[in-house]
Amino acid sequence: MYESILVPTDGSDTAEFAADHAVALAVAFDATVHVLGVVDVEGEAGPFSAGGVDDEFVDRLEADAETAVASVVDAMGAQPVETAVVEGDPAETIVEYAVEEGIDLVTMGTHGRTGLDRVVTGSTSAHVVRESPVPVVTVRDVDGSLSTEYDDVLIPTDGSPAAAVAIDHGIAVADAFDATVHAVYVVDTMALAGGADTTMAGGGGGVATGDLLEPLVSSGEDATNGIAERARDAGLDATTQVVEGSPGSVLVDYVDEESIDFVTMGTHGRTGLDRVLLGSTTERVMRHANAPVLSVRHENPE
């Protein structure tokens, strides 16, 4: 599924931890790794850029970027590697490079340096997730403790096309690592209560929350069973669960409780009562889950 994997780096620990996961994925899929350093002259210069930036300053930034790239390359071992150092806005440059080079997967940390040395930051990764036409793996790792052996892969779903775009990716990763697939559907009880005009089951008037809950649970069972069946057809173990709560919080907790090693999910889902996976939910999981999160952007039909 992935023949080329892009790793943007700024030399920060988080970026290097993300590179470790890129290597694991590259080995599993026999992919070429592209290591990209972005020289953000305007962003690094800050308020001093109004009067222009001298060549020495730019040379220093380019040297720092080349050092960061070289550090990642050293960790690649025998894996095929291509490198580039490009000047521009980090988020825009990463997305443009992915498109121009035909990249299949981007892997990056969710936090990088700050201040004058900033290149890849949390806001940059969020922008790339939202704008990238190819899947993006974000790695929130503060101490390099996240395993690159993926034994359990979580695929959240709400049964929508937006969630479905991530299923193939989740199963492919699970298959490459011989992992167990966890298919989870979260019934958003806060949205459910709002749609029920706050009338609970057994109360008088209005629509009872219990009346709305049952079909959602049934839909969740259908959606998760469908994923599990596909995983089992691929020769993988699979488990399903339908739970209630706030989607972002439930999924983050599930990652910890079930020792999930990798998450794949769409960046947009349904709205209203059927909402489970929204961009905000994906971003919450991306920022708080103790596992790499592969996000796949769903293109809404015109």
Helix axes 167-177, 13-29, angle to 10 degrees: 80
pLDDT tens figures, 182-227 = 999 999 877 766 655 544 344 444 444 567 788 889 999 999 999 9
Q: Is the pLDDT of residue 129 over 90?
A: no
- Rounded to 5°, angle at Cα 267 from 198 and 123: 105
The pairs formed by 232-239 with CB atoms below 8 angstroms and a separation of 24 or more are 234/171, 234/174, 234/175, 235/175, 236/171, 236/174, 236/175, 236/178, 236/179, 236/180, 236/181, 237/180, 237/181, 238/180, 238/181, 238/182, 238/183, 239/180, 239/181, 239/182, 239/183
Rounded to a whole number, what is the distance in angstroms from the first to the last CA of the chain?
A: 27
Question: Which residues are CB-neighbours of 233 under 8 A, at least 6 positions away?
Answer: none
Question: Which residues are CB-neighbours of 74 under 8 A, at least 6 positions away?
Answer: none
Determine the pLDDT at residue 277: 41
Determine the pLDDT at residue 175: 98
Q: Is the pLDDT of residue 116 over 90?
A: no
Q: Is the pLDDT of residue 274 over 70?
A: no
DSSP β-bridge partners for residue 183: 155, 240
Query: Which amino acid appears at position 241 of this protein?
Result: Q
Determine the pLDDT at residue 56: 87
pLDDT tens figures, 69-94 = 999 998 888 889 999 999 999 999 99
Residue 106: helix, strand or coil by DSSP? Answer: strand
> Which range is least confidently modeled, 71-75, 133-137, 281-285?
281-285
Model confidence, pTM: 0.85
Mean pLDDT of all residues in the chain? 83
Determine the pLDDT at residue 227: 97
Q: Is the pLDDT of residue 118 over 50?
A: no
Tokens of 126: 């969020």
Position 57 confidence tier, pLDDT thresholds 50, 70, 90: confident
pLDDT tens figures, 25-47 = 999 999 999 999 999 887 766 55
Residues 195 and 273 sit within 8 Å (Cβ to Cβ): yes
